[in-house]
Structure 1
C-alpha cells in the first residue's frame, strides 16, 4: 500500500478533528480573508483577515452557543445564506457541536425552503438576513421542529409579534451565549468533537432535481475527512496557495473546498458576490480558484466582445491569437502525453510568444496575475474554451463529481492535465464503466443514502457500494475519464440514431462567442433543433456596431440580422457533426435562461424539462409541418 493510500485510510473521524490539528499547528497563520464594504457605501471594499486561532475562537463560540440552545449530536441546523465568511464559521461551528448542516440556497422560495427544513428535521436555522427570516416565519406553522433562527445580518430582522420567546437571535448573540457557556464548561466543544464518529451525519445537501421534490443527500463526517485528505494527496494545492472562494457554499462543490483548505492550511478569500468577481481578482490575486464553466464562457465572450469593439484589426488579432492558443494547447498536451515533455514546434512557439504579448498577458492580469490553476466542475466545459485558456496560460483543470459523491471524484492532474477530460480518480476512489456506458463509482466519498428515501437509495447504490452516477463516459487506457452525456439526456431521433446533446451544445459554445445557453432537441423527431439564448453583454455590443443601437435585448434577438449572425455559427457547428447530429433549425430565445425562472439550478445547470415546457411554442414552430418517420 502506498504512503498516500495509508494516509487517506488512516484519516481522523471528522474535519472537526482536522481543524483542531490545524489550529494547533499554525495558530497565527492567515486562514481567511473577507471583504468589509466601505463605511460610506462608496469606494473599494476593505479586506480583513482571520488567523486560524481567531477563526477557531469564533467557531468554538458558535458551537458552544448551539450546545447551550440544547442542540444534540446529529441534530440538524439549516444554513440559508450566500457565500460569506459567516457561512464558513457557522458551518464549522455546527460541525464542532457534533450537529449536521442542512444547506439551503438563498434563492430557494419559501415553500421549498420549508420542505427542506421540515424534511431534514432542522431544529435551528441560520438565516442570512430579514428576507430569509421572513420565509421561515411565513412557514412557521409547518415547521414544528424549528426552535430558533440565528440571523447573520441583524438589520430589520429582529423578533416580531407572535414569535415564540427566544425564537430569533443574532449571530453575535449566539456567539456571546457560546462564550458564556465556555466560561462555565471550557471543554464543552472539545468533548463534542471527541465524541464524533466517522459514521455520524455531518451534512444533508438537497439536490436541485429537474422534476419533483429535491432529495436530501446524507453525507457523514467520514466523507469530508476523506475529501480533505484526498484533495491534499493530489498535490494540486499547497499551504502557500491563496484560494478565491465565491461558489455557492450550499452546493457540494463549494463546500468541499472548505475541507481541503483545513487540511492544507492555505489562505481562502471568501466573497460570494458574483458581480464582484472581476473587481476582486486583481485585489485577491489568487493562485487557485474553482468555478463553473459559465464563468469561463462569460470571460471568453467578454474578451471577444472587447476586441471586436476595438475595431476590425483588433478583432482579427484576437481571433488569430485564440486559434494559436488552441493549437498550442492541443500540441503541447499531445506531446506531453507521448513523451512527458510539453513541447511545441519552433514556429508555433514563436507565434505563441507574439500572441502572449498582444492578448494572453492581459487576460492573465485580469485574473490577478498569479493564477496557477483553476478547477472547473458542475457541468462540462466546452473543449474549445478549455484549449483557449490553456494556451493563454490559464490552466483550467476539469473535475467531476456529484452531490452523492461529496463533490470531488475525479480531477485533472497538474501538468499532465488533458482538456476535454475530467482527469483521474482521487486516491481511494474506484471507477468502472457499465455495459451501457454508465459511470459507476465506489469509495469513501460516496453518500450514506437519500434522507428518508430507502427505495430511491436502492435505485442508485448497490449493496457492494457501487454508485450509479447516471452519466455516460469513457475511460482511456491510462485512466482519464471523458464524460459524454447524462444517461437521461441521451435521445434517439425518429430515424433511430442516438444523439448526445451536451456534446453538441459544448461544441457550439466553443464556436459562437455570443451564446449564453443552448438546448439541443430532437427526441423522436426526424431532425435536431436548438433553442439558443444569447449573452446580453456580448450581443448588445455587436448590435451597437451593426445598426441596432437603441433597441432592447428582445428586439435585437428578434432582428433578422441577429438571426443571420447566429445562423452562420450554426452552419460552422454543423460542419463538424455527423449528418443526424446537425442542427437543422433553431430559435433565439427572447431572454436568457436563469435561476429565477427555474430554468437553471443555482449551480447553473440546465433544467431541460423546465426549458422545454417554458418554450414549448417555439419548439412546436420548428417542427410544424414536418413529417415524423
Structure 2
C-alpha cells in the first residue's frame, strides 16, 4: 500500500510535498493554541533560516547541535538544517558541561543553537572548543548571535531549491547520542532513508493519517520524540502540540490536545494510573459503588480479550454499560478519550499497568526499539494488543532470535553506524547486516516479540538460576505509585533484594497529606512510607516465582533524577553506578 513516506526519497522532499498538500493547516501549536504555526509559515521560516545558516557557513554534512525545550521554534531550525544537507541533533537539557563538551567534540559540531537559559552551561562546555558558534534564540550576549540575526544574514542569491534537492537518501539526517548506561555515549547516525523507512513502517502498521494529534513532551534528543513528533509530522502532515515544561504543563496539555497517538515511558503511565485511581477514590456512596462495578466489568471483559478468551454476552453488555456510565468519563478526565494508538516504550512496563489501562478502555501496548533502529522497531497495531509482547516488527524490516536468545534485526531502519567508532559499529552490526540488540527475547506464532531482559543484565543467582530483573522491578512498581524506581539485586547471591527510590512527585503528595517534610532522607526512614513499600513488595512477590521474590529491601535516601549517574535521560537504570553508590546499603541487606 502506498504511503506518504514511500513517495519521497528524503525528509526534505517529504516536507515540501506536505506543505504543498495543505499549506494553511496548523502544523505546530502550544497548549491552548497560544502559539501556532501553519505549514506555509513553517516553510517560510525554513527558507529564511536555511539561507541564514548557509551564510553562517553551515553546509552539507556539517553538524549543528540544538539545546532547547520542546517549543515551536525548534521545528523551523531543524528542518532548515535538513534542507542544507546539514546534520541537526539535540543535546539533552540536563547535560553537564563535561557531557556537552563530549558530544560537541565527538560530533565536530560547528554551531550550537540554544535557549538563553542554557548559555552558561554551554559556555563551560565549549571552553575547550572555542570554534563552536553559539546561536541564542532569546537574546544575544558575549560571543553569541541571535536566531533573528542568523535569518537576516541570508542572501537573496541563495538557491534553496538546489540545496535541498542535492540531499541524498544515504545522507545522515541526525545523530542520536545513546544514553550510555555503561561507557561514553555513542553517536548513532540515522540517514534520511532510515527515518523514511521507520515512518513508512509506522504508517503501514498503525494506519497513521494526517488527522493524528500528537503531544511532544519527551526530549528531542531521544529517537522516539524525533520520530513521532517531527519526522512523522514532516511526512504525513498531522499536528503536534509542544510542551515546554512537562513537569508542570503535561497534565493540562494532555486534556487540551486529546491526542490520537500517545506514547510515553512507563513512569508516565504509572503516574496517569495513580491519577485515575485518585479520582476513583474520591467517589463515595452510590457513585462509589457504581465506579467500582464499572472498573470490575471493564477489567474483567478486557482481561478475557487479552487472554484470548471470548467474552460472554452478559459481561459484554455490562462492560458496554460501564463504559458509557463511568469509564468514558475517566478517559476524558485525563485527556485520553480519543487516543487511537497508545504506546509505552524506552523501558519495560508492568503487565498489571497495561491491564489496568486496557480495562478502562485505553488500549495501551508495550513497544520496543532502540536508537540504532530509528525509533520504535516493534509495536502492536491499534486494537491488536498482545499482552506480554512488544508487538511486531515494522513492515519492511526483519527480526529473528539468535541461538543464545538475542534479538536480531535487519532492514532499512538499521543505522548507518556509530560516528567515529567503526569498531563499535562492527560489534553491533554483523557482516550480514543484522543488528545484535543485546536484548533476550522470543517470537510467538504471529511474529510478536517478547522481551525477556537485557543480555548483560540477567540475574544469575548462586544456584545458577537466570532471572529477569526488569520483570521483578515492574511488579514492585505496579503496586505503589510512591515507588519511582526499583532495582532488583541478586547476581551470584542466595536470594534477591531490592533498592527502592521514591517518586519525587508522589512523595511530595504523600508528605503533604501525612504532615511530613518532603525530604528523601526523612521519608526513607518514615514508618508509614516503609509500610506502603513493604505492602507493594509483598504483593509483587505473589506474582513472582519463589526464586525471584524479594526477601529484603531498602529505601534509598535520595530522589533519582534523569540524566544523572544513576538514571539515563530516558529513565533507564545505570545498574553499575547504582551498585557502587549503594554498596554499603546492599551489603547490609545480605547481613
TM-score, length basis structure 2: 0.93
SS in 2 for 1:580: coil
Which residue of 82, 101, 108 maps to 1:95? 82
Alpha-carbon shift at residue 439 of structure 1 (Å): 0.5
Count of residues in Structure 1 that have an aligned counterpart in Structure 2: 588
Structure 2 Cα separation of the partners of residues 139 and 227 of structure 1: 33
Distance 1:606 1:344 in 2: 43
| 1:460-481 deviation line (CA, Å, top 9, x unaligned) | 1111110001111111111111
From 503, 507, 515, give the equivalent of 1:549.
515
Partner Cα separation in structure 1 for residue 579 and residue 460 of structure 2: 17
Equivalent residues of 2:4, 2:235 under 8 A apart: no
Partner of 1:18: 14
Aligned mate of 1:573, from 523, 534, 540: 540
Aligned pair 1:395/2:363, yes or no? yes
CA–CA distance in structure 2, aligned partners of residues 124 and 348 of structure 1: 59
2:441 is the counterpart of 1:482:
no
Q: Quick check: 1:11–1:229 contact (8 Å CA) kept in 2?
A: no
Partner of 1:135: 121
Q: For 1:320 and 1:588, how far apart are their aligned partners in 2?
A: 35
Alignment counterpart, residue 177 of structure 1, candidates 153, 158, 177: 153
Residue pair 1:516, 1:533 contacting (<8 A) in 2 also: yes
Which deviates the most, 488-497 or 268-277?
A: 268-277
Change (3 A) 1:416 1:246: same
1:39 maps to none
Q: Which residue of 2 aligns with 1:40?
A: none
Shift of 1:256: 0.6
Secondary structure at 2:181 match in 1: coil
Q: What is the match of residue 180 of structure 2?
A: 209
Deviation at 1:66, TM superposition (A): 1.1
Hey, what's the Cα distance between the residues in 1 that align with 2:504 and 2:141?
Answer: 42
What CA deviation, in whole Å up to 9, does each residue of 1:241-280 have, x standing for no partner? 2212211111100001121222211111122321201111
1:503-537 Cα deviation digits (max 9, x unpaired): 11112222334321111110111100111123345
Question: Which residue matches 1:627?
Answer: none
Q: CA deviation at 1:352?
A: 6.3
Residue 145 of structure 1 and its aligned partner are, at CA, apart by: 4.4
Match of 2:54 in 1: 67
Equivalent residue, structure 1, for 2:251: 278
Provide closer, same or farther for how the CA distance between residues 202 and 234 of structure 1 changes in structure 2, counting only shifts above 3 A: same
User: 1:310–1:566: structure 2 CA closer, same or farther, 3 Å change rule?
Assistant: farther
Whether the 8 Å CA contact 2:265–2:344 is kept in 1: the answer is yes
- Give 1:207 shift: 0.7
Q: SS of the counterpart of 1:581?
A: coil
Instruction: Please name the residue that 1:29 is paired with.
Output: 25
Query: Is there any run of 5+ residues in structure 1 with no aligned partner, and where?
Result: 36-44, 625-629
**Distance change in 2, residues 1:308/1:443 (3 Å):** same
The alpha carbon displacement at 1:313 in A equals 9.2
Post-superposition shift, 1:236? Answer: 3.6
- Please give the root-mean-square deviation of Cα atoms over the aligned residues, in Å: 2.5
Alpha-carbon shift at residue 620 of structure 1 (Å):
1.2
Instruction: Flag the 1:32–1:15 CA change in 2: closer, same or farther, 3 A.
Output: same
Report the Cα distance in structure 1 between the residues aligned to 2:418 and 2:333, rounded to whole angstroms: 44
Which deviates further from its counterpart, 196-205 or 588-597? 588-597
CA contact under 8 A between 1:15 and 1:221: conserved in structure 2? yes
Q: Secondary structure at the match of 2:367?
A: strand
Tell me the distance in 2 between the aligned counterparts of 1:537 and 1:100. 37
**Partner SS for 2:30:** strand
1:149 aligned onto 2:134: yes
SS of structure 1 residue aligned to 2:375:
coil
In the other structure, the counterpart of 1:508 is: 476
2:313 is equivalent to residue 327 of structure 1: no
Q: 1 CA distance for matches of 2:81 and 2:448? A: 37
Q: Could you tell me whether the CA contact under 8 Å between 1:374 and 1:395 is conserved in 2?
A: yes
**1:23-52 deviations in whole A, cap 9, x for unaligned?**
1222122211125xxxxxxxxx65222211
- 1:244 corresponds to 2:215: yes
1:527 corresponds to: 495
Whether the 8 Å contact between 2:302 and 2:358 is mirrored in structure 1 is: yes
Q: Partners of 2:285 and 2:581 in 1: how far apart? A: 38
Alignment partner of 2:561 out of 594, 605, 614: 594
Q: How does 1:135-534 map onto structure 2 within 5 Å?
A: 135-146=121-132, 148-154=133-139, 158-160=140-142, 163=143, 168-178=144-154, 181=155, 183-185=156-158, 188-257=159-228, 258-274=230-246, 275-308=248-281, 322=295, 324-335=297-308, 343-347=311-315, 349-350=317-318, 353-354=321-322, 357-358=325-326, 361-367=329-335, 369-534=337-502
- Aligned with 1:142: secondary structure? coil
Provide the secondary structure at the position in 2 that maps to 1:524: coil
For structure 2, list consecutive stretches of 5 or more residues without a partner in the other structure: none
Deviation per CA, 1:450-501, whole angstroms, max 9, x where unpaired? Answer: 1111111111111111000111111111111111111111020011111100
TM-superposed deviation, 1:305: 3.8
> Are the aligned partners of 1:282 and 1:369 in contact in 2 as well (CA < 8 Å)?
no
1:573-615 Cα deviation digits (max 9, x unpaired): 2122221111000111223321254322222222222222222
Rate the CA distance shift 1:79–1:384 in 2: closer, same or farther, 3 A: same
